[in-house]
Structure 1
Amino acid sequence: MKKIALASDQGGFEQKEALKSVITEMGYEFEDYGVHSDASVDYPDVIYPAVKAVADGEYEMGIILCGTGIGASIVANKVRGIRAALVTSTEVAELTREHNDSNILALAGRTTELAMNEAIVRTWLGTAYSQDERHTRRINKIKDIEIKEGR
């Protein structure tokens, strides 16, 4: 079974909890890295461990949330091998999987409605990387940048 790392700060907590049923419905298992309440935390403290687990190959993909998704996506993209996309529409969810082979989905728990985030998760999980040569070439250039930057 496919496995997903899942994490949020307090700004994404309610939606993270609600999205668990969509993830399960799509045939995935998940590990919830927290938070486990709506108490305030520093988002890097919960986002980084989940993202690092994806980078280390423990999970195929990850879904992370914070209030806007911005902080979570910035943390994720600091980790070598991670291609996190902050997504607010199903069109972008599809394109980031097809073109960028994104392995982390960042969502906004406060500024995007739950119904939209549910649709985004379904689209993102249901879309495969295109394997198109031009996209592979571009992803490889991103990997080259990571090496140059020491990540």
Structure 2
Amino acid sequence: MGEARRATAADADELVRLRAVLLAHMSGRDPAGDDWRRAAAEMFRARLDEPDPTLAAFVVDRPDWPDRPDRPDRPGALAACAVGAVDQRLGGPGNPAGTTGYIYNVATDPDQRRRGYSRQCVTALLDWYRDRGIAAVFLRASAEGEPLYRSLGFARTPDPSMLLRFPLA
């Protein structure tokens, strides 16, 4: 079984590919357009090139990739990833420093699921948060992902989430 490692800028395109896998799985259709993919890859390259103290990604490399004759043009493919950011909020009684973590983009290639790769990536990310003294970590869980997150200590919160979208320029 592969082991989680810290992602680098060289992993940017694969992190975006796995995000597309995640979005397609959640919506039931392939996410359209290349603009978002280019922007996301640029963000990863910029923030992972010199490790950003507020962003980390952990990945597991595909163990079978070098031996895949159907994709020899894409070395370094990833089996799974988890991305996390640190957000500075106002402090409070349970979190005087006000730093919080947010995990997103936990994705595994469909043919690599049920091997513990997402668990490895999320666990490495949680260790990264602990090392930084982050007091609280948030995420949004799909029904399929919730058992994993519960096993790692996450619990549903009573806080309702709301969203406002501004039109794109």
| TM-score normalized by the length of structure 1 | 0.31
Q: Which has the larger radius of gyration?
A: 2
Give TM-score scaled by structure 2 length. Answer: 0.28
Structure with the higher fraction of residues in helix conformation: 1
